Amino acid sequence: MYLSCLLIDVGTNPDRPRPGRLWLRNLYRVHQRLCMAFPSPARESDDAHYLKPFDPDDFASEEVHVCRGENAGFLFRIDPQQGGSAVVLVQSATQPNWDYAFHNAGHLLRCPPQVRRFSPAFSVGQMLRFRLLANPTKRLCSQSKVRGQPVEESWIGKRVPVPTDMLEDWLTARAEPAGFRVARLSSVQAGFVYMNNTREPGKGLRLRSARYEGVLEVTDPARFQAALVGGVGPAKAFGFGLLSLAPA
């Protein structure tokens, strides 16, 4: 796999934002630009200098519109940095072409993207520090209740945000099938992020977010490897699910 680090130029004055800061405010636009780093072979060979208009079907067809695995797909996460700057981390199955993606948007970046290959291996009992931005939601069923009341039939099957006091339980429930257990949580930051796939202001959606940091223990290396590659939780196209690891 490949791990890319994109340092975004957000400017120094939040009251006079640079284009990079505005770009990060809409996850739909961020995802769209990142997809451009994975042009189809036909697009890359026929339009090497990116002269044709943007066509979503020419980009990331094998990287996005499939289940993420060792041979296709990518995950990303926006990490705020000290001083107000921001980094976009991208984990991809294939090598990205960032020059192609930012051919007409170099002003969004503070410096050229850094890309490195990595092939992690895990063992039972291995302790790792982790960071995860997740979209903690649950699907409503006929037995679900909202504010103590049964849900309406039209809401059955829809996803709703997990309450703040249940965020730790949400992660714990997903840890075992993902091949790990949470040994210690040092931080859980709840919030919401914004996405809008239209050009009309006020027509977007707020998505529940939770940034987890702590230490985990690997319990099933094969399942854990699959969770690392495929991501944890829903809404992976909007910057959720990427599991970052470091030695404990």
DSSP annotation string for 49-65 = T--SPP-GGGBSTTTTS
Q: Which CATH superfamily is domain 127-247 in?
A: Crispr-associated protein; domain 2 (3.30.70.1210)
CATH 3.30.70.1210 domain span(s) along the chain: 127-247
DSSP annotation of 110: S
Question: What number does CATH give the domain 2-117?
Answer: 3.30.70.1200
pLDDT of the chain, 248 residues: tens digit per residue: 999 999 999 887 767 768 898 899 888 889 989 999 998 888 888 888 888 887 877 876 544 444 555 557 899 999 998 877 899 999 999 999 999 999 889 999 999 999 999 999 999 999 999 999 999 998 766 555 555 556 566 556 677 788 899 999 999 999 999 999 999 999 999 988 887 766 666 667 788 899 999 999 999 999 999 999 999 999 898 999 999 999 99
Q: What does residue 116 show for φ and ψ, rounded to 5 degrees?
A: -140, 155
What residues contact residue 56 under an 8 Å CB cut-off, 6+ apart?
32, 35
With residues binned 3-state (H G I as helix, E B as strand, rest as coil), the percentages for the chain, rounded to 5, are: 25, 35, 40
From CA 77, how far away is CA 153, in angstroms rounded?
35
From CA 204, how far away is CA 107, in angstroms rounded?
25
Q: What is the pLDDT of residue 216?
A: 98
Cα three-residue angle 146-165-84, rounded to 5 degrees:
115
CA-CA distances (angstroms) from residue 67 to 29, 61, 74?
21, 11, 10
Q: What is the pLDDT of residue 176?
A: 95
Answer whether 194's CB lies under 8 Å from 78's CB. Answer: no
Phi-psi region of 48 (alpha: psi -120 to 50; beta: other; left: phi over 0): alpha
The sign of the torsion formed by the CA atoms of 45, 46, 51, 53 equals negative
Neighbouring CB atoms inside 10 A of 193's CB total 20
Answer whether 82's CB lies under 8 Å from 15's CB. Answer: no
CATH 3.30.70.1200 domain span(s) along the chain: 2-117
CA-CA distances (angstroms) from residue 83 to 9, 12, 14, 30, 96?
12, 8, 11, 21, 28
Q: What is the pLDDT of residue 70?
A: 57
Q: What is the pLDDT of residue 221?
A: 97
What is the b/e burial string over 228-242, where b = at least 16 CB atoms within 10 angstroms of the residue's CB?
bbbbbbbbbbbbbbb
Answer whether 195's CB lies under 8 Å from 27's CB. Answer: yes
From CA 135, how far away is CA 233, in angstroms rounded?
6
